[in-house]
Structure 1
């Protein structure tokens, strides 16, 4: 499809209307989409055929102290992503600390369990007069709570999942 003969003129007139805040066919946003709507041409007329006019439009927007809407949206998205990245880094640091505390608590519980098994084996080996069965029952019924500092797993609280948007 070949461009309309007056396409460049329509685009320049639309530029003037948008920059003067007198748009007739668009929302007046400082974007190529709004410029194409205002000029009543397809968007690819600006992105493929008339790239010079597109560059001229953005240059005029910047020279008047304005920032194109697309650039403003991108900057806002970059800010938001940087905030999310910082929050993620903080969460990763906390999770690493939690892992170390949990590994320590697991090690302590394993050592205590091994010690208790050794005590039971010693009791059985020394002929306790039938008390080994009672000791088995007592040990199975006992709840062994490892001594864990408040910075260990007891201090670990689940965090709600963050919305990825």
Structure 2
């Protein structure tokens, strides 16, 4: 038995109205596509693939009331968390680059000193060492 598209659309519109007024019958009442589909008694893909205009209308009505859909709220929170993590990673990268530059300078100084010590050793090593005794 296949549901008529008009009946689906009517069910989705009624469900949207109930969610927007805060009187859900079958769902958690969240302002999401998942809750809208649950409230309308249809599968989520029906909203995201077949009745995208109703899904978009629902989100537009949510925004018009000054509310942010839960999905958008979660994405915004995830974005903020990601921005913080990126800033921390960039700061760590800067520290590592600074450390790397310092270590490169130290290696250059040590290499130069090593060359000087080898030159001194070569000039001293021409002396003959004789065992005592």
Fold in common (TM above 0.5) = yes
The reply to whether residue 9 of structure 1 matches residue 10 of structure 2 is yes
- Residue 88 of structure 2 corresponds to 87
C-alpha displacement at 1:2, in angstroms? 4.8
CA RMSD of aligned residues (A): 1.9
Question: 1 or 2, which has the higher helix percentage?
Answer: 2
Mapped to 2, the partners of 1:52 and 1:92 lie a distance apart of: 45
Matches within 5 A, 1:138-149: none
Cα separation, 2, equivalents of 1:96 and 1:42: 52
1:50 aligns with 2:63: no
| Aligned twin of 2:103 | 102
State the distance in 2 between where 1:3 and 1:69 align. Answer: 28
Partner of 1:76: 77
Deviates more, 1:46-55 or 1:60-69: 46-55
What's the secondary structure of 1:97's corresponding residue? helix
> Partner of 1:112 in structure 2?
113
Name the structure 2 match of 1:64: 65
> Following TM superposition, where does structure 1 have runs of at least 4 consecutive aligned residues deviating by more than 2 angstroms?
1-5
Shift of 1:112: 1.5
Q: Distance in 2 between matches of 1:69 and 1:33?
A: 10
Deviation at 1:113, TM superposition (A): 1.4
In structure 2, runs of 5+ residues without a counterpart are none
Aligned residues: 130
Q: Take 1:118 and 1:44, find their aligned partners in 2: how far apart are those partners?
A: 78
